[in-house]
């Protein structure tokens, strides 16, 4: 099984550019989420989704958009990139709202905004 | 809102020595607690979790953790560290029911293992 797949693994943007980080899972998980990881700050939740057509904001949603049209995919969009969005982004999934088990993480996407 | 503190940014131990990584949490009710490990260039992997019951939980790779409500702690331990344990370790707390997805992570502890 592929698990959680993120693309691209590395990306360099200029301030003001837009891009989409892709996330796909093949485990039929209801729940998907995006985190950003910054040195000394751990992981912070950006957006999450409990199923197709349902999304909600996490701790640090500003500057990011998400959508969930299928169970498998949960893309993260940066509409106008800023240097403060330089970070490593992780997508994670789990079985569903009633399952208090583990999150399965992708390998991360490293984004640099110049 | 819940929070997690990992007081040690970096720990260095010799291979074969014992290990304890500290984690303190803040949450008003019974928390769900997790330890994750991150190897360089990789995503996070669950080591162990505590939801209820026995306060000493066993995880993968020989790790264990003890939940101490009176101290609001969930420290991770391993009796004998291997070189392959070098990684970054994150403690996390989840609030409410069905909320493993709403995790709040600590800032992480980087573990270096000396030969």
Q: Residue A97: what pLDDT?
A: 59
Gap between the terminal Cα atoms of chain A: 36
Residue B34 sits at the vertex; the CA angle it makes with B25 and B70, to the nearest 5 degrees, is 35
Helix spans in A28-101 (H):
none
Token couple for A23: 């996330």
DSSP percent split of chain B into helix, strand, coil, nearest 5: 10, 50, 40
User: Is the pLDDT score of A96 beyond 80?
Assistant: no
Which of the given ranges, A54-58, B12-16, B104-108, has the highest pLDDT on average?
A: B12-16
| Tens of pLDDT, residues B68-88 | 999 999 999 999 999 999 999
Say yes or no to pLDDT of A36 above 90. yes
- The pLDDT confidence band at residue B52, using thresholds 50, 70 and 90, is confident
Interface mutation target, options A56, A103, A107, chain B, most CBs of B under 10 Å: A103
* Inter-chain residue contact B100 with A102, CB threshold 8 Å: yes
User: Cβ separation of A108 and B106 shorter than 8 Å?
Assistant: no
- List, for residues B86-105, the tens digit of each pLDDT value: 999 999 998 755 555 678 89
Taking contacts as CB-CB distances below 8 angstroms, the residues of chain B near A43 are: 44, 90, 103, 105
Cα dihedral value A28, A76, A7, A103, nearest 10: -40
More confident residue, A8 or B99: A8
Does residue A1 register a pLDDT over 80?
no
**Across A19-47, average pLDDT:** 93
Please work out, in degrees rounded to the nearest 5, the angle formed at the alpha carbon of residue A33 by the alpha carbons of A29 and A37.
135
Is B105 in contact with A103 (Cβ distance < 8 A)?
Answer: no
Identify each DSSP E strand in B29-79 by its residue range.
32-38, 44-50, 56-58, 64-68, 73-78
Provide the 3-class DSSP secondary structure of residue A26. Answer: coil
């Amino acid at each position: 099984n592929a698990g959680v797949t993120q693309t691209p693994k590395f990306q360099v943007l200029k301030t003001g550019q837009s891009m989409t980080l892709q996330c796909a899972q093949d485990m039929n998980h209801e729940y998907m989420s995006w985190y950003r990881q910054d040195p000394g700050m751990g992981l912070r939740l950006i957006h999450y989704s409990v199923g197709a057509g349902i999304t909600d904001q996490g701790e640090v949603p500003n500057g990011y958009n998400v959508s969930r049209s299928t169970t498998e995919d949960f893309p993260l969009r940066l509409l106008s990139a800023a240097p403060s969005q330089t970070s490593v982004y992780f997508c994670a999934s789990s079985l569903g709202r009633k399952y208090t088990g583990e999150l399965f993480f992708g390998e991360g996407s490293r984004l640099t905004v110049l | 809102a819940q929070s997690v503190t990992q007081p040690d940014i970096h720990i260095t131990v010799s291979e074969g020595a014992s290990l304890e990584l500290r984690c303190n949490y803040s949450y008003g009710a019974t928390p769900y607690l997790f330890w994750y490990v991150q190897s360089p260039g990789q995503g996070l992997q669950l080591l162990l979790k505590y939801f209820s019951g026995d306060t000493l939980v066993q995880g993968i790779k020989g790790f264990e953790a003890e939940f101490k409500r009176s101290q609001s702690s969930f420290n991770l331990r391993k009796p004998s560290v291997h070189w392959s344990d070098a990684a970054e370790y994150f403690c996390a707390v989840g609030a409410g029911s069905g909320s493993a997805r709403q995790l709040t992570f600590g800032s992480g502890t980087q573990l270096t293992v000396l030969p």
